[in-house]
Structure 1
Amino acid sequence: MKIAIGNDHGAYVYKNEILDMLVKEGHEVINVGCDGPESVDYPDYARKVADLVVNQNVDCGILLCGTGIGISIAANKVKGIRCALCTDTTMAKLTREHNDANILALGQRTTGIETAKDIVHTFLNTPFSNGERHIKRIQKIKEIEEKNL
């Protein structure tokens, strides 16, 4: 799988650990995040990953910041992005099955690294259910985007 990963200064440690894990597992990872503790603006990195996802240069994206909140909000401003902040594997499973989320957001300050790795695995290995009710709801999200973005 080809995955874009991005982060701000609040999550460079987790980004590096998750990136290393994904590469060891055989994924192709495009790193567009920052690599140190110097303060940067998370919307810049959210946009880089979101652009790669919507332009279909990657299969999906992973975003990280201190809490995952700001970076997920920024990513969701890009038309076609369904970024979900997940704090456990149930959320990761359900956002893939029900929402066909294409970007996962995580928080370094709010989620332990082993849990974060489990969330990543769940997100990457859970397919969209293609259920009629879910397709209908995603279409309604797309209609909101068309009107407002």
Structure 2
Amino acid sequence: MKIGIAADHGGFTMKERLVQALRSAGHEVTDFGAFSLDPADDYPDFVIPLAGAVAKGEVERGIALCSSGVGASIAASKVRGVRAALIHDNFSAHQGVEDDDMNVICLGSLVVGYAQAWDLVSSFLAARFSGAERHRRRLAKVAALER
């Protein structure tokens, strides 16, 4: 799968570990930065390009990280066509895709440890949108808000 990933300084170390794990698992990974640990950087500078790539179909799914995951989630959700959510539990990691066609998972590196983050990302990537009529109907209402 083509995966995009981005993080500010708060998620930088976890991003670096996830990039290696994703590549080892056979995924094609596009890293949107940060490319160095800079405490003065800003999450929108990395998360917005990632979200844009997801919206354009340049990557199939996105992973956005910051310290809490909140800022990354807010920024990614502002991009039309992106369905991003802050995830801290396995059920939401797969259910968000199955029911809500979530295409960007947001994680807080100070909220979840690496092992849990990898588990959440793995569940997110393995999940598929159900396509059920009720879910399509709800997503159409959300998409109408973007227009």
Partner of 1:84, secondary structure, is: strand
1:15 matched to which residue of 2? 15
Partner of 1:10, secondary structure, is: coil
1:89 matched to which residue of 2? 90
1:33 matched to which residue of 2? 33
Identity, % of aligned pairs? 40
Q: CA RMSD in A?
A: 0.8
Stretch of structure 1 that moved more, 37-46 or 47-56: 37-46
The 4+ residue runs of structure 1 with deviation greater than 4 A are none
In structure 2, distance between residues paired with 1:22 and 1:39? 27
Alpha-carbon distance, 1:76 to partner: 0.5
Alpha-carbon distance, 1:88 to partner: 1.1
Count of paired positions: 146
Deviations 1:65-88 (A, max 9, x none): 001000110111111110011001
Aligned 8 A contact 1:15 1:64 in 2? yes
Aligned 8 A contact 1:8 1:39 in 2? no
Alpha-carbon distance, 1:37 to partner: 3.9
In structure 2, distance between residues paired with 1:67 and 1:84? 12
In structure 2, distance between residues paired with 1:31 and 1:46? 11
In structure 1, distance between residues paired with 2:80 and 2:45? 16
Alpha-carbon distance, 1:39 to partner: 1.9
Partner of 1:101, secondary structure, is: coil
1:76 matched to which residue of 2? 77
Gaps of 5+ in 2: none
Amino acid in the other structure paired with 2:25: E
TM-score, structure 1 as length reference: 0.95
